[in-house]
Amino acid sequence: MSYSNPPHQETIIDLAFAPVPNFDPVRYLRLHSKLREQYGESQSQPALPPIQSMPDTGMAFILGFGDGPPPTRIWHLSIDQRMVLQLQSDRLILNWRRIDDPNWETYPGYDALIMRFLEAYDLLRVEVLQESGQELEPIRCEFAYDNVITHSVSHAAGGISKVISGVSEPITGANEFGTLTSLGMMLRYDFCGDSLGSSSTLVNLQPAFDRSTGEAIHGLRIACAGPPVDSDRNGLHNAFSEGHEKALKTFESITDDEVQRSSWGRS
């Protein structure tokens, strides 16, 4: 199944691993000319909170930071700003962003993205092994799609509840709180896959505004995350691929068939 103009705005491939002591993400980029050619601009960002595995469950939880200076996360951006490689002492993330692409012409596809991610992972693994003598210890693989449901799509379908299954019809009319014009939801599906361990697919639908137009929209994130069954390169590839398939199937199952065909060009 393919789409000529899907609501997809961003792809995220996110690997969390055990923290690497004294890790310098800026130095990592400088050491590898191939990455330097792919990502010409760097930006410093606050680090994402660390993730740790919960014993015996395979789940993960977020920890707060302790004392001392805050850790650093580096964004490495491609020339067209669509690709962002994020790196910190316990995370490697690749984002593709839909920028100035109304006709869906620049998306490289999942296969190209996972290969680009694994190329960066290979370089990171070698660098960490040479510097510290440690192997990377993957904790969690997450694959996510961010989508935008525009007002025109919702209106043509008869409301957001007609676009996304599982959304309750809003109560019509006004009351002391005002008139309800949009709503959101969060769903979670737990599973144990072949390449992902005890994992979950999260569906998050929330009202928002398009910053460029001011138009009321709904943001739809579908994220599949869990610990990889095997932590070598092939194991990570399989885990992300399983997450990708789960995310696609979830999108297809919760969105309306007619909207898929008429608004997003499903074929």
The total number of residues written for the chain in this structure: 267
Q: What are phi and psi of 207, to 5 degrees?
A: -70, 150
Question: CA 249 → CA 119, 133, 147, distances in Å?
Answer: 27, 40, 14
Task: Evaluate whether residue 214 is within a structural domain.
Answer: yes
Q: What is the pLDDT of residue 53?
A: 47
What SS3 state is found at 75?
Answer: strand
Asked if residue 127 is part of any domain, the answer here is yes
The domain total for the chain is 1
User: How confident is the model at residue 224, as a pLDDT?
Assistant: 95
**pLDDT of res. 52:** 59
User: Cα 50 to chain center, whole Å?
Assistant: 16
- Domain range for residue 168? 8-173+180-262
The angle subtended at Cα 205 by Cα 201 and Cα 209, nearest 5°, is 140
Cα of first residue to Cα of last residue in the chain, in angstroms, is 6
- Per the domain annotation, does 1 fall within a domain? no
Asked, for residue 267, whether it belongs to a domain, the answer is no
Chunk the chain into consecutive blocks of 10 residues (it has 267) and report each block's average pLDDT, rounded to whole numbers: 91 95 77 77 86 47 45 87 93 94 88 96 90 89 96 90 72 52 73 86 89 86 94 95 95 94 93
At residue 86, φ and ψ (nearest 5 deg) are -105, 140
pTM above 0.85, yes or no: yes
